A and B are shown apart, each in its own frame.
Chain A
Amino acid sequence: MASVQIRDVRKSFGAVEILHGVSVPIEDGEFVVLVGPSGCGKSTLLRLLAGLENITSGTISIGGRVVNHVHPKERDIAMVFQNYALYPHMTVAKNMGFSLMLRGASKSEIQQRVQRAASILGLEKLLERYPRQLSGGQRQRVAMGRAIVREPQVFLVDEPLSNLDAKLRVAMRTEMKELHQRLKTTTVYVTHDQIEAMTMADKIVVMHDGVIEQMGAPLDLYDRPVNQFVAGFIGSPAMNFLNGKIRANGSAYVETASGDKLPLKTLPSGMEGQEIVYGIRPEHFELGEGGLSADVVVVEPTGSETQIVARIGDQEVIAIFRERQSVKPGDKISLRPRADVAHLFAKDSGKRI
């Protein structure tokens, strides 16, 4: 186990710069999730950590040692690939023991360590199978097993769950988190799925267009997103954004183009009359008198909660209620945003106010 320091790392492919100076401190034993839309540079960053690509500038150190020019195999890291990259011509046991075999470990040692990893992951009965004979979830576990066997300083994990069906994904999510709690190996995990990030991470790094938008504990990001991108990316369904102008007429509020009034707890100083983006999460709407009048467009009951898509003026919003609601498309309802949990973002820069 080791800490990892990524300092001002840049990466260009030819003239195109993919990473524009990224710094991430990762503590020993931490589970860090790099999350962002596709093309944001998160996989590139992981490949730089693994040594599969060369850094253009900046430094990466693992366990206090700068590894910029250290060959991948000397970095003492293990990587789980998105497509698992299992060797199709080797049995599960051979796949898992391959790195030990290359290192010249004795047969008995290889067998012992493969057995131990297999028992952690419940793969004992599959050791003599070939990857083709395994289901998606089993292959995923073998890929994890191959990483565990090596007992590396750092696990690098690249979108490991994206090839699994929805139910298995949830199960493997739990399994991986449990595994991390047991092994306590520093882990860097890349995903585009913010739910995976929220549920698994000690620390989330939200990336967008080659820069880090925000870094922090999952709930901090959820409660205090630093900008409109993070606010919209973290949380599902996404936060609602309503455009309007700040007004102070007795109490502070944001007035939309259609004249609806969105309540504010306090008036941001010197902002009166300015264009602004009002952010409110779906679960922070209440139904009741004195709210915004909205037309119901779609009602989506999931059993545990009810999602309502409604139109306020010309802007669509999503609201979620824990209680069952007996509304139908076309109904008029009154939605009341909770002023204490509303977010304000600058119209031009998207920054939090």
Chain B
Amino acid sequence: MSAVEETRRSATLAEPSLWSRLKSNRNWLAIWFMLPAALFLLLFLAWPLLLGIWLSFTDARLARPGNFIGLENYEWLWDDSIFWLSVFNTLLYTIVASIIKFAVGLYLALLLNRHMPFKAIIRSVVLIPFIVPTVLSAIAFWWIYDSQFSIISWSLRQMGLIQQNINFLGDGNWARASLIFANIWRGVPFVAITLLAGLQTVSPSLYEAATLDGATAWQRFRYVTYPLLTPIIAVVMTFSVLFTFTDFQLIWAMTRGGPVNATHLMATLSYQRGILSGRLGEGAAIATAMIPFLLAAIMISWFGLQRRKWQHGEGND
């Protein structure tokens, strides 16, 4: 009796084939949908990256496939003072520019978050530096910093503050400062607009509650705005640091790393060694050396993002 029942049940509920299970299983379905995008990313992001890292272990030159030479490129770089100068420049460029971009961007965002006439127009004007192509703005800055025709030098001279033109891009420290300023000018809109978006998600009644609780304007910022903004600050600053660290266009268009390598960043140095001098392996090694720094930046913001318990958990734990 029971045996009969067994057979009948197995007859009606035939085991579905592996293929049809893979087709209908929800977890597998997600994989099917992700596959095209994943392939695309693997082909155009992961593969070149791996190729670059592989290249850094070879002595490849332009038009000549290299042989595996182990860490020789890195050993070479370790003793190369220009490489270390470029690391110093990159860190200086990134840290100074990011801090100032954050401060100015936050200030602008707070300003734009207020009620004021022509708010919409002012907000879009703020975006302009972000919209202009980098090379175009670099050329504009090139003129602004020109050793003969600089408008800044001219204005200061007219005011009688200086006697001679400032050699903005010809002097090492002036060149660094000038490039950092240009980078800040380009980067502030991104920070400001993103933080503004974050500010607008803060309910106005929180400020009213804080006002009634006796908070001054500074205390409202310190205890309400800033902590509520930290998640978006973490995201926007991660991006800002990554963009600044890997900056190439602005430098290349304005100074090409000069004068005397004073403004060489790792990215420009890598291009110069790898493409212009044709030493692909060495260029790849410089580029690969950027990875640990970038990973560190990502990790910092990742852990920064994780700690905020109040954002998570609808549930009662």
Task: Tell me the A residues contacting B by CB distance below 8 Å.
Answer: 50-52, 72-73, 77-79, 81-83, 85, 87-90, 98-99, 102-103, 129-133, 146, 150
Number of interface residues of B (CB under 8 A): 26
Task: Tell me the B residues contacting A by CB distance below 8 Å.
Answer: 203, 205-206, 208-215, 219, 223-224, 227-228, 308-317
**Who on chain B is nearest to A147 by CB?**
B212
Q: Given A85-B206, A87-B206, A98-B213, are A132 and B223 neighbors across the interface (CB < 8 Å)?
A: no
In whole angstroms, what is the CA distance A81 to B315 when docked? 24
Q: Please state if A73 and B316 are interface contacts (CB–CB under 8 Å).
A: no
**Who on chain B is nearest to A135 by CB?**
B316
Q: Please state if B205 and A102 are interface contacts (CB–CB under 8 Å).
A: no
How distant is A13 from chain B, measured CB to nearest CB, in Å? 13
Q: Given A52-B208, A89-B308, A89-B310, are A133 and B317 neighbors across the interface (CB < 8 Å)?
A: yes
Q: Which of A78, A82, A98, A103 has the most CB of B within 10 A?
A: A98
Q: Given A103-B214, A130-B309, are A85 and B209 neighbors across the interface (CB < 8 Å)?
A: yes
Q: Please state if A73 and B309 are interface contacts (CB–CB under 8 Å).
A: no
**Who on chain B is nearest to A81 by CB?**
B205
Q: Please state if A99 and B203 are interface contacts (CB–CB under 8 Å).
A: no
Chain A residues with CB under 8 Å of B227's CB are 89
Q: Please state if A50 and B228 are interface contacts (CB–CB under 8 Å).
A: no
Chain B residues with CB under 8 Å of A77's CB are 212
Q: Please state if A85 and B215 are interface contacts (CB–CB under 8 Å).
A: no
Q: Please state if A89 and B313 are interface contacts (CB–CB under 8 Å).
A: no
Q: Please state if A132 and B212 are interface contacts (CB–CB under 8 Å).
A: no
In whole angstroms, what is the CA distance A99 to B227 when docked? 17
25 residue pairs bridging A and B, Cβ less than 8 Å apart: A50-B212, A52-B211, A73-B211, A73-B212, A78-B212, A79-B208, A79-B209, A81-B208, A82-B205, A83-B203, A85-B205, A85-B208, A87-B206, A89-B308, A89-B310, A98-B223, A102-B213, A102-B223, A130-B313, A132-B310, A132-B311, A132-B313, A133-B316, A146-B213, A150-B213
Chain B residues with CB under 8 Å of A133's CB are 313-317
How distant is B45 from chain A, measured CB to nearest CB, in Å? 36
In whole angstroms, what is the CA distance A83 to B223 when docked? 19
In whole angstroms, what is the CA distance A79 to B212 when docked? 7
In whole angstroms, what is the CA distance A103 to B311 when docked? 27
How distant is B310 from chain A, measured CB to nearest CB, in Å? 4
Q: Please state if A85 and B203 are interface contacts (CB–CB under 8 Å).
A: yes
Q: Please state if B314 and A72 are interface contacts (CB–CB under 8 Å).
A: no
Q: Please state if B313 and A87 are interface contacts (CB–CB under 8 Å).
A: no
In whole angstroms, what is the CA distance A130 to B212 when docked? 21
CB-based closest 8 A-B pairs: A99-B213, A73-B214, A85-B209, A85-B205, A130-B310, A89-B227, A102-B214, A89-B310
**Who on chain A is nearest to B312 by CB?**
A132
